[in-house]
Structure 1
Amino acid sequence: MNEQENVQLVRQGYDAFKKGDIPGLLQLFADDIAWTLDKIEQVPFSGQRRGKDQVTEFFKLLDENMHPLQFDPQQFIAQDDKVVALGHAVWSVKSTDRRFESDWAHVFSVQSGKITSFREYTDTAASAAAFREPGPDVAI
């Protein structure tokens, strides 16, 4: 596939995600996809995964823990087998009812018409703070 076809594949994935079509999204992935987010304490879907089964679990945990209030891929940059998507998101954490927002970068690798890897770069501190339960007030 050429760079524009790779971008189209990634766009198709975002469209499926935004529609809640996770089975359709998973069909775009290689069976042994490498899926990487930074590990964040108290964020159950963070960290590394490999393969469609583990990525399916990622989307299940994401849905159980957060609700997207805004999720906008805004720019796509392609070179060779890489596609970088830049965007912005606002999320609500279900357990704490806190919101956080962040710009993000997603880096995809595409081979033979399938997404073979995904890496997210985002504001991990904002995410961690939104998942943290409020502590007791400290008297001064």
Structure 2
Amino acid sequence: MTAEEERNVEILREGYRLWHESRAESSDYWMKLMADDVHWRSLGGGAAGSEFTRECSGKPLVQKYFEEMGSQWEMLGYDANEFIAQGDRVVMLGACRWRHRKTGKVVDSPKADVLRMRDGKLVDFMEFYDTAQAIAATT
């Protein structure tokens, strides 16, 4: 791994650690890590019951993503198990567990995030998880 790849992995590893420890109560680290023109996407794609997962660009809209997610879901755990880096891209492989605040249903899903960094800042994010299970938990 190059020095830049190692630096990107360490920056992101810290973000995932803090995310897990705060149980999604604080997105501060992630917001500080993002470039102003960040592009944020989710496999959920704004599906009914998970509208916050719609594609967005810019820090204010990503902040809204975090706020809406937190109002609907309670994090039970988030494990960032493996990081794979190549050039400006890092892939995180792990798992997450969330409880829907309205229905009480729990989602336990594998998780993969593909992130692109530029000069130590997050510029692109795409998340993959069990969307069928997440959507089913909202009703």
TM-score (ref. length: structure 1): 0.89
Secondary structure, counterpart of 1:107 in structure 2? strand
Does residue 131 (structure 1) correspond to residue 138 (structure 2)? The answer is yes
Question: Unpaired segments of 5 or more residues in structure 2?
Answer: none
More helix per residue: 1 or 2?
2
Q: What fraction of aligned residue pairs are identical, expressed as a percent?
A: 31
Does residue 118 (structure 1) correspond to residue 125 (structure 2)? The answer is yes
Paired residues in the alignment total 132
Partner residue of 1:13 out of 12, 15, 28: 15
2 CA distance for matches of 1:23 and 1:101? 24
Secondary structure, counterpart of 2:52 in structure 1? coil
1:69-88 equivalences in 2 (<5 Å): 69-88=76-95
Does residue 47 (structure 1) correspond to residue 54 (structure 2)? The answer is yes
Partner of 1:135: none
Does residue 25 (structure 1) correspond to residue 27 (structure 2)? The answer is no
Shift of the alpha carbon at 1:56?
0.4
Question: Based on CA coordinates, which of the two structures has the bigger radius of gyration?
Answer: 1
Shift of the alpha carbon at 1:17?
2.0
Shift of the alpha carbon at 1:14?
1.3
Question: Unpaired segments of 5 or more residues in structure 1?
Answer: 133-140
Shift of the alpha carbon at 1:82?
0.3
Secondary structure, counterpart of 2:76 in structure 1? strand
Shift of the alpha carbon at 1:21?
3.1
| Residue-by-residue CA offset, 1:86-130 (whole Å, 9 max, x unaligned) | 001111000111111110100000011101011001111000100
Counterpart code for 2:82? Q
* RMSD (Å) for aligned C-alpha atoms: 1.2
